[in-house]
Structure 1
Amino acid sequence: MPIRYATLHQFKIFDAVARHMSFARAAEELHLTPPALSIQVKQLADAIGQPVFDQIGKKIYLTPAGEALMSASQDILDRLERLAQELAALQGLEKGRLKLATLSTAKYFIPRLLGDFCAKHHGVETSLFVGNRGILLERLARNQDDLYILGQPPAHMNVIAEPFSDNPLVVLARPDHPLVSEKNIDPSRLRDVPFILREPGSGTRLATEEFFERHSVALKTRMEFGSNEAVKQVVASGLGVAVLSASTIGAELATGELALLDVQGFPLERKWYAVYPVGKQLTPVARAFLEYLFATAPAHWLALSRALAVSSGSICPTTLP
């Protein structure tokens, strides 16, 4: 069977299997049985005239033909999705889907912004994936979502990164920490202070390590965690200090569980970015959400920064955006 007779159903099935590298997980996503998927993938491979998967032990891997087919499948399915949205737009309808993936650090404000966007566009279906930086970069490499919210764009990937809001990093401690009452603390004073860090590869950790390396300060790592909540809990228990995004700590500052340290060079000026692969054609819905971020997120952060300054007392409002 020539490739021109391959069906969209087969491309969709192959795409799911290739993304998950598992017939079982793809079957769960598509609500089909693994044998049914296997038959369709075999027929597609027959049409190509080459195997698309190698099976080694219990794992499957894409062959060179499979990698080419995966790229083509994504192009076909993405183009069909854009066509559906373009046709809906021509009819004056608000329809379409938005697949958003965000860092766990941004979960403190992105869901609210997404909810407000959906309230203005009732016909849009949305999905939100929340994960750490490593998982998001894997999804970005596979082009699994429309947009990715990151605090530090990947330097090794060919992407477009559009900044839409400030994302300053601050130094946290328990309120009774000896340094809380001090002002303009030199970074060298933190050389022997235990640090609670995010996991290796985290954008927050990378920025923290780069800052202290520039000041010739070797961090004394006490613990590391894969979530902001765990870091905050350990800092609140008095086991060390930490550097986190200011967007994650409003509640703890308001209740007095945490306090800010006035360290020279902080807050670290960073941005939140909407990221997508170079060459990706954004759907009308994705473009509309991107424009909504540009218009709304800065005002959201301004309100948050004022709340942080008022609740903290250890940082002047003019030092935040």
Structure 2
Amino acid sequence: MHFTFHQLQIFVEVVNQGSITKASEALHLTQPAVSIQLKKLQEQFPIPLTEVIGRKLYVTPFGEEIANEARDILVKYDQINQKIDIHQGRLAGNLSIAVVSTGKYVMPYYLSGFVNNHPAIDFKMDVTNKLRVVEDLEQNNVDFALVSVLPEHLDLVSIPLLKNELYLVGGTLRQALSKTPKKKVLENEPLLFREYGSATRNAMESFIKKQNLAVKKKIELTSNEALKQAVIAGLGYSIMPMIGIKNAVEMGQIAIIPYKGLPITTEWNLVYLKKKKLSPVAKAFVTYIHEQKDTINQQHFSWVNP
């Protein structure tokens, strides 16, 4: 057999994604390039690795076995490269972080200095909702997570990073034309929510419940950016973290509406399982965060209320 390392990488990504199109996007290759390498790999085996039924690609049982072996080869390849880097005096290894959606406005600033100082580190940041982040922590799929509300059922080490404040907001154009009194906005106006599992949605629903308010109309959006654009466009009102809308507020696109009991104040925390055995890279990152977080906050988040 004469299959290549590159072919194994492509095959594993196709299996992971369940699609040649998605695999090509993840690998930054064209679909024909992925298809050609997948075909060349298949030519090395007398048994099909994949099959197409009704335009959908399926991995055969034999293909799953080969994919599992290929994953082991890829891991060993990474370990060899890491050992070379370590022997040359460079910090090397993998670092993975799961980040709640709004955290994408926060986490890169705490990562850039560390990652740039250690170019041999392979880094992955998965941006998703709180439900998925907690699942990744529970299943030990990531080294760290960034959350604004700590999951109480997990035994975690928590490193506080930054205050997180959520305000009632509306698009300035809609707000200028609205005749609804500010204290009646949550009852009489359409409200825009994130999807189930989002910490922002949980905070918003919890506040409305505590105020014993009856919501007139709900609209659901599945990303923080979509929610922000919907508020700007005047689709309705929402309770949102300032960290994600600061620029829109400064540009006059979004107005903060004073409301009793708001803002809701939480805190961004970098967390990891207390029982987790941290890798040398993860330990170095924890040290970096403790040493540099105050400087990072002063440089990038001085506008956040202390």
Quick check: TM above 0.5?
Answer: yes
RMSD over equivalenced CA pairs, Å: 5.0
Distance 2:114 2:215 in 1: 41
What do residues 211-263 of structure 1 show as CA deviations (whole Å, max 9, x unaligned)? 43455444344544344344345545665432222322334455664325344
Question: What secondary structure sits across from 1:242 in the alignment?
Answer: strand
Distance 2:43 2:208 in 1: 54
Q: Which amino acid aligns with 1:80?
A: Y
Distance 1:169 1:162 in 2: 19
Partner of 1:212 in structure 2? 208
Structure 2 counterpart of 1:202, from 194, 198, 202: 198
Distance 1:42 1:161 in 2: 49
Structure 2 counterpart of 1:269, from 252, 266, 271: 266
Q: Which amino acid aligns with 1:168?
A: N
Partner of 1:20 in structure 2? 17
CA apart distance, 1:24: 5.2
Q: Which amino acid aligns with 1:40?
A: L
Where in structure 2 are there 5+ consecutive unaligned residues? none
Question: What secondary structure sits across from 1:244 in the alignment?
Answer: strand
Q: Does 1:247 align with 2:243?
A: yes
Q: Is the 8 A contact 2:169 2:240 kept in 1?
A: no
TM-score, with length taken from structure 1:
0.63
Q: Is the 8 A contact 1:168 1:271 kept in 2?
A: yes
Q: Given the superposition, is the C-alpha separation of residues 248 and 92 from structure 1 closer, same or farther in structure 2, using an over 3 Å criterion?
A: same
Q: Is the 8 A contact 1:222 1:240 kept in 2?
A: no
CA apart distance, 1:269: 2.5
Equivalenced residues, count? 293
Q: Which amino acid aligns with 2:168?
A: L
Q: Which amino acid aligns with 1:264?
A: G
Q: Is the 8 A contact 1:10 1:41 kept in 2?
A: no
Partner of 1:289 in structure 2? 285
Partner of 1:314 in structure 2? none
Question: What secondary structure sits across from 1:89 in the alignment?
Answer: helix
Partner of 2:188 in structure 1? 192
CA apart distance, 1:146: 6.8
Q: Given the superposition, is the C-alpha separation of residues 293 and 19 from structure 1 closer, same or farther in structure 2, using an over 3 Å criterion?
A: farther
Question: What secondary structure sits across from 2:11 in the alignment?
Answer: helix
Structure 1 counterpart of 2:166, from 161, 167, 170: 170
Q: Does 1:40 align with 2:38?
A: no
Q: Which amino acid aligns with 1:208?
A: M
Q: Is the 8 A contact 2:99 2:125 kept in 1?
A: yes
Deviates more, 1:238-247 or 1:61-70: 61-70
CA apart distance, 1:88: 1.3
Q: Does 1:258 align with 2:259?
A: no
Distance 1:30 1:236 in 2: 33
Distance 2:37 2:88 in 1: 37
Q: Is the 8 A contact 1:250 1:307 kept in 2?
A: no
Question: What secondary structure sits across from 2:14 in the alignment?
Answer: helix
Distance 2:54 2:71 in 1: 27
TM-score, with length taken from structure 2:
0.66
Distance 1:237 1:300 in 2: 33
Distance 1:72 1:146 in 2: 24
CA apart distance, 1:81: 1.8
Structure 2 counterpart of 1:120, from 117, 121, 124: 117
CA apart distance, 1:92: 0.7
Q: Is the 8 A contact 1:136 1:148 kept in 2?
A: no
CA apart distance, 1:37: 1.6
Q: Is the 8 A contact 1:105 1:248 kept in 2?
A: yes
Q: Given the superposition, is the C-alpha separation of residues 52 and 130 from structure 1 closer, same or farther in structure 2, using an over 3 Å criterion?
A: same
Aligned 1:154-165 pairs, distance under 5 A: 164-165=160-161
Distance 2:35 2:60 in 1: 20
